[in-house]
A and B are shown apart, each in its own frame.
Chain A
Amino acid sequence: MSSDDAVFVKLEAELRRGVLVLAVLSRLRTREYGYSLRQALAAGGMPIEEGTLYPLLRRLETQGVLDSSWNTDGASPRRYYWLSKGGTRLYQAMSESWRRQVGVLDTLLD
């Protein structure tokens, strides 16, 4: 990989990191557990490493953005996450902010 490619990969990863939380919140308008959420994000074009996603869910729950509960009925225990009431409001605010940012960036890039 040339040094230019390496710089691009690094900066692109930073760009994706900036929108990661919003992408995760967008999928948690319905209940998901860690593995299924990762599959849903990958299918939507936003692959994310497990080592990044699983701790992020915990952090968002600690911040009150998500609620969660255990489901131990099946063969594997699963902790399901979904947007809390505060998280829903936060998601809407962040979505509007994102759309504004996209507009601003489109102007800057022209």
Chain B
Amino acid sequence: MDANDVIDSYVHDVARLLPLGKRNDVAFELRALLMDDLRARAEAEGRPPDFDMAVQMLRAFGRPSRTAVRYYRPFTIIEPSDTWSFLVATVAGGAVISLLASPRAPGTYNEMAQQATAAFLGWLGALVVLFGLKNVILRHRPDAFRWTPRPVRDADRASRVGGVGLALLWSALLVLYWAPGRTVETLSGGRVAAETLTYTDSFTSPWRMPWLAAVLIAAIGLHLTVVVQGRWRSGTRWVRMALTLLIGVQLGWHARYGSIFQDPHTERLLTPAIAAASGLIMIVCGIQLYREYSRIRPAPAADHDLAP
């Protein structure tokens, strides 16, 4: 390639990024201008133009895509200000899809991975279409999606009634978890036999079942503490996250390793549900963590003093 070929290559790479109606004319002009620039550079350097001189000149000119954007600003599919929302939606959707795409039977991991990948790509495509549609609407109607004020929610305010309710709910879950057979038999009036929900001996060993019970007791204590304090604080929020994580991990552990119920039918029915619950709780923990780090607390930065 000589200097002319280098310029032709650059002009071609710029022109192919322009609308059809503009590209030939811009290419013709840009080539002539770049040839003039190259001749002037060669004259200044006192040597004929060559490949290296042309490449150096064009690299200083800028990448072809950036030059093309200066000639013609293309349509952006996603409005730059929506980038963060798009990313959050992508991650959240991906998390839900990975939770729902759990293996139905041993040895179906490849099939599960293919289905999950297809579902995720479909989700990504749907997001591109939705955000692109929003951008098209905004280009034609700038007043669309107009901001309207809404009250800023005090996320830390804890309803005392709600807190007591949650403590009671966790207590009920603890009773159900500790003695599922007897509890369900009592609640169903004997229609469901206790044996169908009897745990295996390995599950009731000190290394498995009791740990989650301890976490549930801690969760009850946490909600009662918040009821007394009247609001969530940093400490109680972090404890809540830690307990949520522990519950998710322990449920996942139960579902993954060893059998839970003596009745094989119950085992087949409930173990996937327990695994799904584990995944859902991990997502909830992720949301709690995201909310903790993205909280808006208006305050001056630590290294800037307020003016006297």
Give the distance to chain A from B44, nearest Cβ to Cβ, in Å.
Answer: 12
Proximity bits, A37-75, B CB within 8 Å = 1, else 0: 000000000000111101110110000000000000000
Kindly identify which residue among A34, A49, A51, A59 contacts B29, using a CB–CB cutoff of 8 Å.
Answer: A34
A78 contacts B71, C-beta separation under 8 Å: no
Give the distance to chain B from A21, nearest Cβ to Cβ, in Å.
Answer: 14
Known: A35-B40, A58-B26, A77-B28. A50 touches B70 (CB 8 A): no
B37 contacts A50, C-beta separation under 8 Å: yes
B36 contacts A76, C-beta separation under 8 Å: yes
Look across to chain A and name the residue whose beta carbon is closest to the beta carbon of B57: A50
- Is B30's CB within 8 Å of the partner chain A? yes
A54 contacts B40, C-beta separation under 8 Å: no
Within 8 A of A (CB), among B21-52: 26, 28-30, 32-37, 40
Look across to chain A and name the residue whose beta carbon is closest to the beta carbon of B33: A34
User: What does DSSP make chain A's interface, helix, strand, loop or mixed?
Assistant: helix
A35 contacts B61, C-beta separation under 8 Å: no
Within 8 A of A (CB), among B110-166: none
What is the interface size of chain A, counting residues whose CB is below 8 A from a CB of the partner? 16
B32 contacts A76, C-beta separation under 8 Å: yes
B29 contacts A79, C-beta separation under 8 Å: yes
| B26: A residues at CB distance < 8 A | 58
| A79: B residues at CB distance < 8 A | 29, 32
Give the distance to chain B from A87, nearest Cβ to Cβ, in Å.
Answer: 19
Look across to chain A and name the residue whose beta carbon is closest to the beta carbon of B61: A51
Q: Which 3 A-B pairs have the closest CB atoms?
A: A55-B70, A35-B36, A55-B71
Pick 15 A–B contacts, CB within 8 A, sort by A. Answer: A34-B33, A49-B61, A51-B61, A51-B66, A51-B70, A52-B70, A55-B67, A55-B70, A55-B71, A58-B26, A58-B71, A76-B35, A77-B32, A79-B29, A79-B32
- Chain A residues in the interface with B (C-beta under 8 A): 33-35, 49-52, 54-56, 58-59, 76-79
- Chain B residues in the interface with A (C-beta under 8 A): 26, 28-30, 32-37, 40, 61-62, 66-67, 70-71
